[in-house]
Amino acid sequence: MASNVKECKSWGIIGCGWLGQAAARSILAAGGNVWGTGRTPRRLKEIEAAGAVPIALDLAASAQAEDAVPSCDALLIALPPSACVHPMAVQRLRATMQKANWSVVISSTSVYSTDPGTYTEADAVRRISPHSGICVLDVERALDMPHTSFLRAGGLIGPKRPLFRPSASTLNDHKVLNVVHQEDVVRAVIHLAKIRCEGATNILCPVPRTRGECRSGKPAKSAHQPDARSISVDRLLQSGFSFGHPDPLSMANLHA
């Protein structure tokens, strides 16, 4: 999964959890160096175990030092939206982004309507995410600065994050999935920082599959409903990115 990061040898990761630690391991494997932030002793130990330099950081804490994190060539912000709405957190994130030559902020495809249709990066609307309870587009606007990429990801699948759990309902098996593998998100983060791609970019599996197809492990015999909701990944593909896991049906991490 390692990528060429010669253009970005020094990385910082704010919110170095499940996704951030995977990114750290990939960057380190390619010869880069990484620091990552966490709020708890347990998380800091995980960051250190991943090979990155752990830094204790609580963005909303009034006693937190303003210069708690060092400068870096590339910065990944992989925080849940709820961690990015406190005014002090926004102020500190923007100050940290100014220390980096390039920033990549993990966002979400929840910025798009749930109505049928095909949505591109220009179609984002202000709506409350059903997952976080936060308007993700407001978070993007608060962190919108020069030299910044916003990676709008679908639901993440990967180690310890399967699509289906034993008790998962079959009621929505007809719906097309909006998912992407952790490895592809990590590769896209490094790719966007490398090519210096400003603005929003969508990432989710380009091969449409329904939940029912992935649950059964077999492609459907008939075409998907023509009025399904889909999100375009043309911008990412046209930038030269190639997916390692384009088809959800072929993913190994679908079932718990």
pLDDT tens per residue, range 124-180: 999 998 888 899 999 999 999 999 999 999 999 999 998 887 666 777 888 888 999
> Where is pLDDT greater, at 181 or 167?
181
- Whether 75 shows a pLDDT value over 80: the answer reads yes
In the predicted model, is pLDDT for residue 58 greater than 70? yes
Determine contact, residues 73/10, Cβ cutoff 8 Å: yes
Please report which residue ranges of the chain form alpha helices under DSSP H.
18-29, 41-49, 87-97, 136-142, 182-195, 211-216, 234-238
Rounded Cα distance between 32 and 108, Å, is 27
CATH topology of domain 10-250: Rossmann fold (3.40.50)
Tell me the C-alpha to C-alpha distance, in Å, between residue 82 and each of 44, 109, 246: 20, 16, 29
Query: What is the pTM for the complete model shown?
Result: 0.92
Task: Find, among 3, 11, 8, the residue nearest to 29 by Cα.
Answer: 3
- Say yes or no to pLDDT of 4 above 70: no
Burial class (CB in 10 A: 0-12, 13-18, 19+), 243: buried
User: Residue 83: which of 20, 146, 163, 27 has the closest Cα?
Assistant: 20
Question: Which token pair is 97?
Answer: 């982004």
pLDDT for 182-222, tens place per residue?
A: 999 999 999 999 999 999 999 999 999 998 898 888 888 77
Average pLDDT over residues 8-22: 91
Question: What is the C-alpha separation between 59 and 57, in angstroms, rounded?
Answer: 6
Please state the φ and ψ torsions of residue 156, each to the nearest 5 degrees.
-85, 135
